[in-house]
Amino acid sequence: MKPPTRFALLLPMIIDFGLPLVVYYGLRAAGVDQWWSLLLSGVVPAVVVIARFVRSRKIDFLALFVLSIVALSVGVSAMTGDARTMLIRDAWGGLLGGLLGLWLLASVRVGRPALMYLIRAFVLTKVGPEGLRAWESKWDTDRDFRRALRLLTFVWGCASVLNVLVTLAAAYLLPLDLAPAVLNVSWPVILVPTLVFHLYYTKKKDLRA
């Protein structure tokens, strides 16, 4: 089987983050007001989730979570009728990522870094149970491994918290027609350099299984 191309790997991100922007600014260019443009662009993730389900015929609990959030958001938006309220709601919807970031940061000083648990499944898939035990045993025997994993966890924690702060600032402070762009692109812009650093650092410090 041929490995997926870079475009194939990036396509889901392009759809998830880019398509809502295309819908929003396309509607605004057509003269649709901000509230309706935000509302209809917010429905895009639900349409994408449903299309993926129809294609794969597999229940995705993360997808069900997305659908429930979209349904709740549409209901709240219909009651408020205010575009700024809708933006603030979307920004606070990303608070889960901020809580994850705080958990990552707290775990740097308490016990084993949370990132070690988050990537455990990937290590198991890659090298199997024996390889996973060997990888985890480095925590007890390799001081550099512990220090490097703590630093990597700190970086991911900072990236997650930074994304929440940027989106909240955008929702509250930026003009209504600029804020949706910042809300949608902030995480990809933060994620890409963080992921590049992750790949470089895990190879340099021999953190990979």
Name the DSSP class of 4.
P
In the block, tokens 């549409």 appear at 74
Of 42, 48, 34, nearest to 76 (Cα)?
42
Of 186, 160, 163, 131, nearest to 21 (Cα)?
186
Is residue 21 left, alpha or beta, with left meaning phi > 0 and alpha meaning psi from -120 to 50?
Answer: alpha
**pLDDT tens per residue across all 209 residues of the chain:** 444 555 555 666 677 778 888 888 999 999 998 888 887 887 777 777 777 777 777 655 555 655 665 666 666 666 666 778 777 777 776 777 788 899 999 999 888 999 998 888 888 888 899 999 999 999 999 999 999 999 999 999 999 999 999 988 998 899 988 988 898 889 889 999 999 999 999 999 888 87
The Cα 90–Cα 88 span in angstroms is 5
The Cα 137–Cα 47 span in angstroms is 44
